[in-house]
Amino acid sequence: AKKRGQNKYEFYESAMNTVYTQKLAIEQLLRQAVEQKELDLVYQPKFQLDSGSMVGVEALIRWNSSRIGIVPPAQFIPVAEEAGLIAAVGEWVLQTACAQMKSWHDAGLEPMSIAVNLSAIQLHQEPLVPSILNILETTGLEAKYLELEITENAEMTKSSGMVEMLQSLKQAGVRIAIDDFGTGYSSISYLHKFPVHTLKIDKSFVRGISACPSDSSIIEAIVAMARSLKLNVVAEGVETDQQLACLKSIGCDQAQGYLLCAPLTADKFTDRYVIHAEA
Ligand code: C2E
Ligand code: CA
Ligand code: CA
Ligand code: CA
């Protein structure tokens, strides 16, 4: 029994070491990735549900490591946050996404917004506002075409500096979307205080609406609330015609998902929506 216990202990220890070693390895490779430009962005359109027209594009980060292959953002963003790399990664994302949208506008894409995901840690790192304003100025993208997607969390709603920071972004013309809406732990009372423009319904709620309308009550409630607060509401993760029809009937404003368009590389987006776009 003693021997067995010991083996068990060793097993746990080595499993922990593996996780720890993996994280260290990812961290080290990520540092190089930032320097060696292994990071990339893909772009996923958002569509207006009543007209069907594209109204914006979300930038999503990709990392194809020469050493370990494709690492999903859900895996490396938390490592970047812990390792103090998120500021550099986040700035690169903002810069690249704004420059890309400006060049699409210049190439004839009907002016629309670019949405950039911000890590909660970025929100607490100074100087975020001057850095964003500087990026808008150097890329030439008008502030009203930048939308920041932030995820609700308890800390955010408690911080008083946060309201001021979001206010100064709003004053500059930048739009704020609450990402993964409904999955956070925070109270929704902050929606009054925060200069929020859009609510993004998390795909976990969209997945549930197979037997419309009975399974769609959460989305109905979110859409009703967005209506009364005069907020724009977007559903993410739309994969089926049934989900799309249901969202339309509920009165959701916009949708995004594999059914409508998967995230595209910049080249593919240009080819599909900028060069070959119908006049
Ligand atoms: P998110 O912001 O909620 O993004 C939605 C995720 O759903 C993306 O995964 C997207 O590729 C995926 N998706 C799009 N359409 C569908 C669909 O129809 N069905 C399903 N099942 N999924 C769909 P991705 O690109 O792997 O990103 C995961 C998360 O990583 C994002 O969740 C976001 O929180 C974070 N992330 C991505 N890019 C960035 C970035 O540049 N900066 C930061 N801080 N976080 C990022
Ligand atoms: Ca997002
Ligand atoms: Ca989400
Ligand atoms: Ca998210």
Q: pLDDT (tens digit, 9 = 90+) per residue, 50-105?
A: 999 999 999 999 999 988 899 999 999 999 999 899 999 999 999 999 999 999 99
Mean pLDDT across the stretch 6-13?
58
Residue 182, pLDDT score: 85
- At residue 1, the pLDDT reads 41
| pLDDT in the model for residue 16 | 60
Is the pLDDT score of 183 beyond 70? yes
- Mutation probe of ligand 1 site: the residue of 81, 94, 116, 117 with most atoms within 8 A of C-beta: 117
> What number of CA atoms fall less than 13 Å from residue 169's CA on the CB side?
27
Mean pLDDT for all residues in the chain: 89
Cα separation of 60 and 81, whole Å? 16
Buried b (16+ CB within 10 A) or exposed e, 219-249: bbebbeebeeeebbbbbbbbeeeebbebbee
What's the CA-to-centroid distance between 8 and ligand 1, angstroms?
37
Rounded alpha-carbon distances, angstroms, from residue 19 to 14, 24, 25, 81:
9, 9, 10, 17
- Among 34-38, 91-95, 117-121, 224-228, whose mean pLDDT is lowest? 34-38
Tell me the mean pLDDT in the region 128-137: 96
Minimum CA distance residue for ligand 1 atom 3: 180
Percent of the chain predicted with pLDDT > 90: 66
Give the pLDDT score at 214. 60
Cα–Cα distance for residue pair 249/213, rounded to 1 Å:
9
β strands within 132-257, DSSP E: 146-151, 175-181, 198-201, 232-235, 254-255
What is the per-residue pLDDT for 12? 58
Distance CA 273, CA 112 (A): 12
Rounded Cα distance between 248 and 235, Å, is 10
Residue 156: the pLDDT is: 75
What pLDDT shows up at residue 184? Answer: 76
Indicate if ligand 1 lies below 6 Å from the C-beta of 74.
Answer: yes
At 186, which amino acid appears? S
Residues written for the chain: 279
Residue 152 confidence class, pLDDT cut points 50, 70, 90 = confident
Ligand number with the minimum distance to the CA of 149: 2
93 lines ligand 1 (CB under 6 A): yes
Sign (positive/negative) of CA torsion 150, 57, 146, 192? Answer: negative
| Residue 2: per-residue pLDDT | 44
pLDDT recorded at residue 10:
59
Contact 60/43 with Cβ under 8 angstroms? yes
**Is the overall model pTM greater than 0.90, yes or no?**
yes
